[in-house]
Amino acid sequence: MQMHLERLDFRLQLKALIRKELQQILRDRQLLFLLFAMPILQLFIYGFALSPEVDRLRLGIVDHAGSTISRALAACLVVNGVFEVEESGGTEAQLARKVQDGQLDAGLIIPADLERRFRSGQKTRVQVLIDGVDANTAGIAGGYVGQILAAFNRQLTTGTQLPRELVAPQITFAYNPGLISSWFFVPGVIALVLNLVSTLVSSAALVREKDSGTLEQLLMTPVSSLQILLAKIVPLSFLLMITVFVALMVACLIFQVPFRGNLLLFLFVSFLAILVGISIGIALAAYSENQRQSLLTSFFVNLPVIQLSGAIAPLESMPEIFQWMSLLNPLRYYVSCVRSIILKGVGLEEIWPNVLALAAYALILLSLSSSRFRKQLK
């Protein structure tokens, strides 16, 4: 009888505790948002952003022939939506430059003797220049070019005595001729890891100070809230710069990623990215009541930031709305800078718009988050 009563008491107590916990969860709007809204949002972002489809690649064309056949060839490449003509005309050097600067994903150069060679039944090679930084996209794009030209040849030769292959592609993969996938992923991983670490460490450090009460003790001393904040930012930035340098060494020595750019420029843009990450961490700390809440919020904030940065999947393969949304993502600009510096060896004159955007984000976010945190301390 007594054992039965103990079991009954246990069930009643457990039921009461579960009811209390459920009521607390339902009252917490932030927790409800994290439980229901964020997973749905993540599903949409991951579902669209991680699409393996390759389409809407920006294509530039230099048509030296200017004939009916050359125009038909150019039209054939864009008919299925894989390529979109962004540039037509100019010189071969200008085309190569735009591929280097990231303005174009691929370039097609049609020789002047295309029409003459076609009439005589001779094979003509058209040059195709593809940005090989993203090895997966470049490989798929190269395969598409081969398939499209094969279909074009069939259209030209069906019902004739002409050779089956009149037009053949001569494909060059710029900056990554071996299509080594790690050359694309490793710089992106450097960027996303730096963003995660700077955000998590800065928010955790400040929230820990709040939880332990040491912030209140510091405020009782003659130091100001600005001095407290700077004392957090400066050493953390220095240590994260060491992390960046070590990560670069690992990328070059272990993963054999070539470093073709300027080291000082790379470290400068990395410093700007660190300031952005620390700023986000300070903002999370200002709005979080405890360390657990800070880590949970940081997790859900960083996932879409990483996914819409181009670090894992190319932005060109995402729906247009996500490409527009990525313009509001500071990590996007850092990822672009890192890949351009490391793999293409470009200088500040080519990537200055991305550097300027990153610097603006660093300044604005650091000012806003610091102001919010200092108000909270008063």
> What average pLDDT score do residues 293-313 get?
81
Domain with CATH 3.40.1710.10 in the chain: 57-174
Residue 291 pLDDT exceeds 80: no
For residue 312, give every residue at least 6 positions away whose Cβ sits within 8 Å of its Cβ, in sequence order, or none. 49, 50, 185, 188, 192, 306
Highest mean pLDDT: which range of 83-87, 202-206, 339-343: 339-343
Residue-wise pLDDT for 139-148, tens only, equals 888 888 888 8
- Give residue 332's pLDDT: 94
Instruction: Quote the CATH superfamily of domain 57-174.
Output: abc type-2 transporter like domain (3.40.1710.10)
pTM comes to: 0.80
Residues 219-246 have a mean pLDDT of 81
Does 45 score more than 90 pLDDT? Answer: no
Mean pLDDT of 160-186: 81
Rounded to the nearest integer, the mean pLDDT of the chain is 82
Residue 354: pLDDT band with limits 50, 70, 90: very high
Stretch 53-72: mean pLDDT:
83
Query: To the nearest whole percent, how much of the chain has pLDDT over 90?
Result: 22
Q: Name the band, by pLDDT with cuts 50, 70 and 90, for residue 82.
A: confident
